[in-house]
């Protein structure tokens, strides 16, 4: 079996950055909690280096602001840095102004640390839906040229009825974005993720490998996503509901080994590098998000709208 090329991504956030969960620490508490993101991300950097893999690291701005040296180590190792928002909040909890402020701060903190422009954005929880399609315009206006937020199938916090299971373009009023969606396979008529988060932790290696091969034969790269906490079985446990606990903490002990086998089996590059090589071929795959975006206005619960981030003066 030849080593085919696929896309490797990391969402750089800490163990307490869980979405929409009762029992999770509030934003005000984050700074007082033990941080494990630096050591866990360093472990991923070491693993990727040993396997010759390159990745895109979507960094939460709040993490980047506190761990500038980590951001610089990721860039120095030859990986791409991209935004995973500043406050790590789902899109439905934003309005246009709060998302604009969040994205601007997330870009600035990364660009100040590494000295070059950020191209990509990934919404927490793949949370761009039909109802939040207005976010595409805010993302494009913020200067991003690609998005990696869509899940064209089953998703806890998102899910978008896209006809494109592989990379494509998104047309919005503010222009064109390249899109690298979550990888899914067709199961009983629905698209189901297989290559990241809980699916990566839960599914046996052979099943993931077979999905990668199946999608490759259909002409689509796999987009693996992993979180630093997912290779850290010793992370503190939050008082989540039993269902969330099960989903959030399952498979922690086996993920690193599975990831190692995937890295051995294929060649891995980041989103930007993949688009540089294949972006021109996406011209005839355009998702027109304008009808969705015009029909959907932000309607967040005011209690959850994140504040404008305040960055320390340099
Ligand atoms: Zn995230």
CATH number, domain of 211, equals 3.20.20.370
Domain assignment of residue 277, yes or no = yes
Q: What is the pLDDT of residue 21?
A: 87
Domain assignment of residue 115, yes or no = yes
Q: What is the pLDDT of residue 150?
A: 97
Total number of residues shown for the chain? 314
Name the residue range of residue 298's domain.
Answer: 5-15+35-304
Q: What is the pLDDT of residue 295?
A: 84
Q: How far is the CA of 13 from the centre of ligand 1 (A)?
A: 6
Q: How far is the CA of 284 from the centre of ligand 1 (A)?
A: 30
Q: How far is the CA of 2 from the centre of ligand 1 (A)?
A: 32
Would you say residue 1 has pLDDT above 70? no
What is the percent of the chain where pLDDT is above 70?
Answer: 99
Q: What is the pLDDT of residue 17?
A: 96
Would you say residue 76 has pLDDT above 80? yes
* Mean per-residue pLDDT, 207-220: 96
Q: How far is the CA of 1 from the centre of ligand 1 (A)?
A: 33
Would you say residue 20 has pLDDT above 90? no
Angle at CA 167, nearest 5°, toward 188 and 126? 70
Would you say residue 2 has pLDDT above 80? no
Domain assignment of residue 20, yes or no = no
Distance in angstroms (rounded) separating the CA atoms of residues 259 and 256: 5
Identify the CA nearest to 66 among candidates 8, 112, 109, 24. 109
Mean of the per-residue pLDDT values for the chain? Answer: 95
Taking the whole predicted model, whether its pTM rises above 0.75 is answered as yes
The total of structural domains in the chain comes to: 1
Phi-psi region of 243 (alpha: psi -120 to 50; beta: other; left: phi over 0): alpha
* Mean per-residue pLDDT, 4-12: 98
Distance in angstroms (rounded) separating the CA atoms of residues 212 and 217: 9
Q: How far is the CA of 225 from the centre of ligand 1 (A)?
A: 10
Distance in angstroms (rounded) separating the CA atoms of residues 28 and 94: 18
Q: What is the pLDDT of residue 109?
A: 97
Would you say residue 70 has pLDDT above 80? yes
Would you say residue 169 has pLDDT above 80? yes
Would you say residue 280 has pLDDT above 90? yes
Domain assignment of residue 310, yes or no = no
Q: How far is the CA of 304 from the centre of ligand 1 (A)?
A: 17
Q: How far is the CA of 84 from the centre of ligand 1 (A)?
A: 7
């Amino acid at each position: 079996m030849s080593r085919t090329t696929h896309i490797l991504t990391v969402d750089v956030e800490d163990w307490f950055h869980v979405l929409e969960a009762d029992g999770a620490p509030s934003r005000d508490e984050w700074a007082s909690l033990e941080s494990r993101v630096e050591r866990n991300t360093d472990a991923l950097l070491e693993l990727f280096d040993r396997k010759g893999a390159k990745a895109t690291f979507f960094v939460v701005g709040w993490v980047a602001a506190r761990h500038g040296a980590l951001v610089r180590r990721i860039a120095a190792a030859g990986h791409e840095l991209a935004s995973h928002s500043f406050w790590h909040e789902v899109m439905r909890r934003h309005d246009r102004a709060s998302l604009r402020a969040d994205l601007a701060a997330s870009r600035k903190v990364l660009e100040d640390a590494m000295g070059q422009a950020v191209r990509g954005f990934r919404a927490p929880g793949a949370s761009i839906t039909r109802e939040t399609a207005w976010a595409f315009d805010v993302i494009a206006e913020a200067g991003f040229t690609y998005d990696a937020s869509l899940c064209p199938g089953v998703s806890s916090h998102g899910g978008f009825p896209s006809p494109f299971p592989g990379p494509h373009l998104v047309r919005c009023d503010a222009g064109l974005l390249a899109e690298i969606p979550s990888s899914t396979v067709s199961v009983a008529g629905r698209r189901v993720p297989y290559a990241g988060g809980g699916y990566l932790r839960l599914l046996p290696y052979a099943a993931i490998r077979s999905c990668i091969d199946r999608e490759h034969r259909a002409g689509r790269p796999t987009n693996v996503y992993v979180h630093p906490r997912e290779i850290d079985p010793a992370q503190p446990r939050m008082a989540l509901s039993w269902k969330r606990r099960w989903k959030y903490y399952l498979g922690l002990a086996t993920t690193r080994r599975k990831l190692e086998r995937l890295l051995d089996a294929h060649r891995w590059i980041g989103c930007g590098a993949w688009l540089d090589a294949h972006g021109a071929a996406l011209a005839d795959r355009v998702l027109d998000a304008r009808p969705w975006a015009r029909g959907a206005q932000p309607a967040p619960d005011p209690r959850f709208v994140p504040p404008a981030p305040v960055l320390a003066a340099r």
